């Protein structure tokens, strides 16, 4: 949920377009094993993309170790689907289609062919209720459905967010506790989530299997229109809030999934900043409150208010419904009619309209405090951000488009002037603010710095304003404009949304206008406005286009809110004390009978939460059979050849004339003490960018292995699934500054280099990749260079990669110091927001060498290195510069090099000569001998202290040490444990936002983790009970089949061509053969209850020999060590 800055990376072009057309999709979700580092402005059931400012708006439903959305990792680009254009459709066909619409109660409002996505789009209106339906037809097999309600809250009790969680907890046709979880267990979904914006709530699903798709659609329609939660007070308590009292003699506490989720959100400084800014910018409309819920206000919400909100807003007349893909458009209308015909008209659509905020006549200044650790110089931990509402009404498309380009020009790359000047000023450590944001009714712009000295706050404000004035007066150079234009155009033409369904990215773009009663087609059509803007720039010059925008919407705009955030080391303890005092008064006001009744109600709720659904209820959820599952793994064409004595992997796939390449270098010659410098050598926000997570889908993978790669979350990560033998591989393409691309060469300074990359390619990134290798002591350790370009620029691509690798000079001391400061700031932010990632990295580092390497480049050890390095840069720059050169010499060599190419066959052939030339320029061998790394952290239990209101609790062991031999059933079992035992006990009953397990089949490490958890020792007890859970497990054939199908869904995750080529490369690096892939699939498909029972003894190793790492508050760690003396070794991180 952190909005990625558009910095240079392999995915930068995709993101550029995303930022350009959909600059923020702020939402939160309802998932259980979340991994995101910050909850954005939307709230989701699962985890999603993170956006810098979306911290206020987006809440994803946290999916149980198995699913995730992304927040900004999707690019809102048009899908590459093919459909019959209206001109080609026969009159009889059209007539028949209209007859179908009439039959099912719909009238056609408009029909258009969207050339950009080769789709026919038809807007319908349901006659009886007024529900609006967009039906998009094309040949994309990844079908998407979504229903969106306008849900503007009037206070910060979090009603929309709690309701979004709750409607998926059983419905009229599916009367079990959580049909949502049953879908996670046993469907082939490519997307399954829900999320809450400040003014709307979205319920999207996607699948490539038509039968599965319609199953998902039916469950979601029944959930939103006929949920059990409006009649079930206990669901409201579980998902929202309740008083918990186990014994009348004990203290009362607050519990609730959303309550604890939002306590985590309100523990993160960037989130507090974003929420404060939004509410100050919009004091008079719905954006002035928190749709996700303020933990101080959530307990004021009543069940009656909760029910009334659903009755008022969850009506077809207030809904926008979206279908997309290659399924039958008439069947879509038939399915909808079965639900919509049950309703009459409603005033909801009128009552839910969002009123615009009137613009201020003068600026406003806000000063807030945020919880800070006691370490470091607090005087240098201030934050300041300038925020504007740009207009009192929505903007026309031409202006929006121009503002999108302006945003990219000012902030989109490390060379962008506003970004560059702020970071080079030395006034702060990292950028805050999301730039242009237009996902709400009124667009905004925000920019600032964190890590600022209190004395420098006015200087930052002045620098922002003087820089903007200078840009308005002087304009942008032509190379920068050309680079931005190419970046955005490339992204549109490539249409690469990563693992995010293309249809969903289109839906969210369309909804951004449609939800405000504007044209839903307009956001889907970029071609003409883009060409018009290019023509206007060519005719009038860029200054004539952009300077008036800066002046009108920012410099001369009085609707400006400056937010200053001050560090307060006492705030977290004061907040906790205030909560305890409130609860103390609540208890004091109760009689003995009241307390006994509360204790009884607590036990009753827990009993309900821990009691399995009856078999007849479980059977109500539609599912697939094993006959619907392909027996063979997905095949990726791979041809292995040799060019200049270097192996080259080629994948002949349709890519629309885009060439994707990965160049792999061996990292085994690198000295061990240089490891922490590698992320800074590659890029300041890179870590282990490829993550391997076995047997779980995206959410699970990220949850366990995020620690390997996200030291700083001011980045974009695009998720690419690939089944590697028996693993799900998640690829994070990180966007951020980097030494190789931000130091410049003899001929080009770093601005010119970045502009050249933007003009000639779709992006280049460099990052380390490491993993254990099953059956080997030495880990897999490489540096990977990823790049992409139109095939006509293939030569430019390889020339630029060579320039970056061999010609960049490590001579700019001050720029390097900026990288260090930014990395440190982001690592500190990550400690608060992704503590489970920190815990997982730390545990892996205690259990295997690959984990230790990852932790050196992205865990607490890396943060400690950065803290020391920040001072060392001034003391020994020559030594650091020499170390960077030594890293380069150790890596660059044809020996151990590997090239991976993905494109159409003719393009692969044409590219070989450029590959040959590139390889000729590399040294034939490394001057450094291969080294052996065999290090681990000590194995004691450890608590990492941070100022937080929630905890992140991990426990892990290496089950290969018990003699366990890998079987495909392990993937089924670990996913099942996450979706049942841990979901029910850690999340539902325990109140954590997420709980899950992960099995790294390469190292043998089996891990348990929790996310935003109010508990500590109680959660560890749940982990230790997993073996008994498996021994006592009874499972009918239907339940087992669901578990198997759900695992296959993870294994066969939908991939675009570049991801297919990349996953094939990783299989090659990790020694995974096609034979092994088939064997693991057969083992998955033949999993039996006996396998579950046998795994119970294996998992006992975690109970008796596991290492524990928790990222937690001082109070909770002290309480744990009091209950179990010396249980934790304590390390203060902040």
Cα(267)–Cα(92) distance, integer angstroms? 61
Q: Is the pLDDT of residue 82 over 70?
A: no
Instruction: Return the DSSP state at 135.
Output: E
pLDDT value of position 257: 94
Cα(735)–Cα(5) distance, integer angstroms? 7
344-359 mean pLDDT: 95
> Considering just the CA atoms, what is the radius of gyration of the chain in Å?
27
Cα(158)–Cα(41) distance, integer angstroms? 12
CA distances to 124, 214, 274, 338 from 97, in Å: 12, 20, 47, 18
Token pair for 985: 């006990």
Among 239, 489, 662, 712, the active-site one is 239
Cβ neighbour number for residue 792 with a 10 Å cutoff: 12
Q: pTM (2 decimals)? A: 0.88
Cα(223)–Cα(871) distance, integer angstroms? 56
Token pair for 714: 């001011």
Token pair for 514: 């449609």
Q: What's the per-residue H, E or C state across 402-451?
A: HHHHHHHHHHCCCCCHHHHHHHHCCCCCEEEEEEEECCCCCCEEEEEEEE
Cα(130)–Cα(317) distance, integer angstroms? 5
pLDDT value of position 95: 58
Token pair for 709: 């790669």
Percent of the chain with pLDDT over 70: 86
DSSP string, 505-557: HHHHHHHHHHTTTS-SSGGG--HHHHHHHHHHHHHH-HHHHHHHHHIIIIIT-
What phi and psi, each to the nearest 5 degrees, are found at residue 932? -115, 125
- 733-789 pLDDT, tens digit each: 333 335 676 788 889 988 999 999 999 999 999 999 999 999 888 899 999 999 999
Lowest mean pLDDT among 45-49, 798-802, 1118-1122: 45-49
Cα(1050)–Cα(968) distance, integer angstroms? 13
Q: What angle do CA 713, 714, 716 make, to 5 degrees?
A: 85
Among 132, 164, 368, 904, the active-site one is 164
Token pair for 1069: 């690096």
Token pair for 607: 């009993």
Strand partners, 431: 449
Q: Is the pLDDT of residue 1046 over 90?
A: yes
Asked if 177 contacts 170 with a C-beta cutoff of 8 angstroms, the reply is: yes
Q: Is the pLDDT of residue 4 over 50?
A: no
Give me the half-sphere count of Cα atoms (radius 13 Å) on the Cβ side of residue 314: 26
Q: Is the pLDDT of residue 715 over 50?
A: no
CB contact set of 62 (below 8 Å; sequence gap of 6+): 29, 30, 31, 32, 33, 34, 44, 45, 46, 47, 261, 699, 987, 993, 994, 1011
Determine whether 164 is an active site residue.
yes
Q: Is the pLDDT of residue 15 over 90?
A: no
Token pair for 1007: 């891990």
pLDDT value of position 97: 78
- 847-856 pLDDT, tens digit each: 999 999 999 9
Residue burial 591-613, b: 16+ Cβ < 10 Å; e: rest: eeeebeebbebbeebbebbeeeb
Instruction: Return the DSSP state at 41.
Output: S
Give the full edge-to-edge strand order of the sheet including 639-643: 639-643, 646-652, 898-903, 658-666, 780-790, 763-771
pLDDT value of position 683: 62
CA distances to 739, 742, 821, 878, 1037 from 811, in Å: 10, 11, 17, 9, 65
Q: What is the mean pLDDT of the chain?
A: 86
Q: Is the pLDDT of residue 977 over 70?
A: yes
Residue 848: closest CA among 773, 922, 792, 913: 773
Asked if 996 contacts 33 with a C-beta cutoff of 8 angstroms, the reply is: yes
- 581-607 pLDDT, tens digit each: 999 999 999 999 999 999 999 999 999
Cβ neighbour number for residue 35 with a 10 Å cutoff: 32
pLDDT value of position 741: 66
Strands 639-643 and 106-114: unpaired
Higher pLDDT, 895 or 324: 324
Torsion-angle region of 552 (φ positive above 0: left; ψ -120 to 50: alpha; else: beta): alpha
Q: Locate tokens 């893909």: which residue? A: 325
- Band the pLDDT of 494: cuts 50, 70, 90: confident
Asked if 684 contacts 8 with a C-beta cutoff of 8 angstroms, the reply is: no
1060-1077 mean pLDDT: 95
- Band the pLDDT of 46: cuts 50, 70, 90: very low
Residue 842: closest CA among 1108, 1024, 1041, 485: 1108
Strands 646-652 and 898-903: parallel
- Band the pLDDT of 156: cuts 50, 70, 90: very high
Asked if 159 contacts 306 with a C-beta cutoff of 8 angstroms, the reply is: yes
Asked if 782 contacts 27 with a C-beta cutoff of 8 angstroms, the reply is: no
171-177 mean pLDDT: 95
535-560 mean pLDDT: 96
Strands 319-325 and 132-137: parallel
pLDDT value of position 298: 98
On the 0-12 / 13-18 / 19+ scale of CB atoms within 10 A, 307 is middle
Cα(823)–Cα(711) distance, integer angstroms? 7
pLDDT value of position 702: 28
Strand partners, 1110: 943, 953
Determine whether 581 is an active site residue.
no
């Amino acid at each position: 949920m952190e909005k990625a800055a558009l910095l240079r990376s392999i995915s930068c072009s995709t993101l550029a377009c995303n930022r350009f057309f959909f600059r923020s999709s702020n939402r939160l979700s309802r998932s259980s094993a979340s991994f995101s580092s910050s909850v954005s402005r939307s709230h989701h059931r699962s985890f999603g993309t993170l956006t810098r400012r979306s911290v206020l708006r987006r809440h994803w439903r946290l999916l149980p170790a198995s699913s995730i959305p992304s927040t900004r990792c999707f690019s809102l680009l048009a899908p590459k689907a093919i459909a019959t254009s209206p001109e080609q459709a026969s009159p009889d066909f059209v007539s028949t289609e209209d007859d179908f619409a009439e039959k099912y109660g719909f009238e056609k409002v408009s029909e258009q062919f969207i050339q950009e996505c080769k789709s026919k789009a038809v807007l319908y209106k349901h006659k009886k209720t007024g529900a609006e339906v967009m039906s998009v037809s094309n040949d994309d097999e990844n079908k998407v459905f979504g229903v969106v309600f306008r849900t503007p809250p009037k206070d910060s009790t979090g009603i929309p967010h709690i309701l979004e969680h709750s409607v998926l907890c059983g419905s009229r046709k599916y009367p079990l506790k959580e049909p949502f979880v049953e879908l996670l267990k046993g469907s082939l979904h490519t997307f399954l989530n829900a999320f809450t914006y400040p003014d709307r709530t979205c319920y999207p699903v996607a699948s490539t299997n038509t039968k599965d798709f319609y199953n998902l659609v039916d469950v979601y329609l029944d959930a939103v229109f006929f949920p059990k939660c409006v009649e079930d007070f206990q669901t409201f308590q579980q998902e929202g809030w309740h008083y918990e009292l186990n014994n009348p003699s004990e203290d009362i506490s607050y519990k609730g999934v959303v309550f604890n989720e939002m306590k985590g959100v309100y523990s993160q400084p960037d989130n507090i900043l974003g929420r404060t800014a939004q509410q100050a910018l919009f004091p008079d409309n719905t954006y002035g409150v928190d749709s996700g819920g303020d933990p101080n206000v959530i307990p004021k919400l009543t069940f009656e208010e909760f029910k009334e909100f659903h009755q008022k807003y969850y009506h077809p007349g207030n809904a926008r419904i979206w279908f997309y893909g290659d399924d039958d458009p008439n069947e879509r209308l038939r399915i909808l009619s079965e639900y919509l015909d049950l309703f009459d008209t409603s005033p909801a659509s009128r009552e839910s309209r969002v009123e615009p905020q009137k613009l201020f006549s003068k600026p406003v200044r806000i000063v807030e405090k945020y919880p800070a650790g006691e370490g470091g110089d607090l005087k240098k931990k201030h934050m300041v951000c300038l925020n504007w509402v740009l207009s009192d009404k929505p903007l026309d498309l031409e202006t929006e488009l121009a503002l999108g380009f302006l945003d990219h020009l000012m902030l989109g790359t490390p060379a962008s002037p506003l970004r560059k000047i702020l970071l080079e000023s030395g006034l702060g450590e990292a950028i805050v603010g999301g730039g242009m944001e237009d996902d709400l009714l009124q667009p905004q712009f925000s920019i600032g710095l964190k890590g600022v000295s209190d004395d420098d706050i006015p200087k930052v404000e002045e620098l922002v304003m003087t820089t903007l004035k200078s840009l308005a007066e002087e304009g942008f150079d032509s190379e920068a404009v050309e680079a931005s234009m190419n970046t955005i155009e490339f992204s549109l033409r490539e249409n690469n949304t990563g693992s995010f369904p293309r249809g969903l990215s289109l839906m969210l773009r369309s909804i951004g206008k449609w939800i405000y009663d504007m044209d839903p087609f307009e956001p889907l059509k970029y071609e003409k406005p883009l060409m018009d803007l290019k023509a206007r720039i060519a005719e009038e010059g860029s200054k004539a286009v952009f300077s008036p925008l800066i002046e009108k919407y920012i410099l001369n705009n009085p609707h400006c809110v400056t937010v200053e955030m001050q560090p307060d080391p006492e705030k977290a303890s004061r907040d906790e004390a205030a909560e305890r005092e409130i609860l103390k008064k609540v208890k004091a006001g109760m009689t003995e009978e009241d307390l006994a009744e509360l204790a009884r109600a607590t036990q009753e709720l827990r009993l309900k939460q821990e009691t399995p659904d009856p078999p007849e209820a479980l059977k109500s959820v539609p599912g697939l059979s094993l006959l619907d599952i392909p027996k063979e793994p997905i095949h990726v064409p791979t041809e292995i050849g040799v060019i200049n004595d270097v192996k080259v992997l080629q994948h002949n796939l349709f890519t629309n004339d885009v060439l994707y390449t990965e160049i792999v270098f061996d990292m085994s010659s690198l000295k061990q003490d240089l490891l922490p410098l590698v992320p800074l050598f590659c890029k300041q926000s890179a870590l282990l960018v490829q993550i391997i997570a076995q047997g779980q889908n995206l959410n699970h993978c990220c949850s366990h292995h995020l620690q390997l790669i996200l030291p700083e979350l001011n980045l974009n990560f695009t998720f690419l699934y690939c089944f590697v033998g028996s693993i799900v591989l998640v690829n994070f393409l990180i966007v951020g500054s980097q030494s190789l691309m931000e130091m410049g060469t003899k001929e080009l300074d770093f601005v010119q280099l970045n502009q050249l990359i933007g003009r000639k390619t779709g992006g280049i990134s460099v990052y380390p990749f490491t993993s254990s290798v099953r059956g080997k002591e030495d880990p897999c350790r490489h540096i990977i260079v990823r790049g992409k370009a139109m095939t006509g620029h293939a030569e430019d691509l390889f020339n630029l990669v060579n320039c970056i690798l061999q010609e960049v000079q490590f001579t700019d001391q001050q720029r390097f110091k900026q990288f260090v400061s930014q990395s440190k700031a982001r690592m500190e932010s990550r400690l608060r927001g992704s503590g489970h990632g920190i815990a997982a990295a730390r545990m892996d580092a205690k259990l295997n060498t690959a984990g230790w390497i990852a932790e050196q480049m992205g865990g607490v050890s890396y943060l400690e290195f950065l803290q020391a390095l920040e001072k060392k840069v001034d003391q020994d720059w020559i030594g650091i510069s020499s170390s960077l050169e030594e890293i380069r010499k150790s890596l660059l060599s044809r020996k151990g090099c590997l090239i991976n190419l993905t494109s159409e066959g003719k393009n692969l052939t044409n590219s070989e000569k450029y590959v040959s030339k590139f390889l000729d320029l590399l040294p034939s061998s490394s001057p450094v001998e291969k080294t052996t790394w065999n290090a681990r952290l000590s194995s004691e239990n450890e608590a990492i202290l941070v100022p937080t209101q929630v905890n992140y609790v991990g426990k892990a062991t290496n089950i290969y040490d018990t003699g366990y031999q890998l079987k495909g059933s392990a993937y089924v079992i670990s996913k099942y444990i996450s979706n049942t035992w841990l979901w029910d006990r850690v999340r539902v009953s325990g109140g954590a936002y997420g709980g899950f397990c992960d099995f790294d089949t390469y190292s043998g490490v089996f891990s348990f983790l929790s996310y935003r958890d109010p508990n500590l020792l109680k959660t560890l007890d749940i982990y230790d009970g997993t073996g008994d859970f498996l021994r006592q497990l009874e499972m009918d054939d239907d339940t087992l089949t669901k578990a198997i199908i759900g695992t296959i869904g993870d294994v066969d995750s939908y991939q675009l061509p570049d991801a297919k080529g990349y996953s094939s490369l990783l299989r090659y690096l990790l020694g995974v053969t096609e034979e092994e892939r088939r064997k693991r699939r057969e083992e998955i498909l033949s999993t039996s209850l006996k396998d579950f029972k046998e795994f119970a003894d294996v998992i006992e190793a975690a109970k008796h020999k596991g290492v524990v790492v928790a990222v937690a508050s001082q109070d909770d760690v002290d309480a744990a060590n009091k209950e179990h003396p010396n249980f934790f070794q304590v390390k203060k991180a902040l």
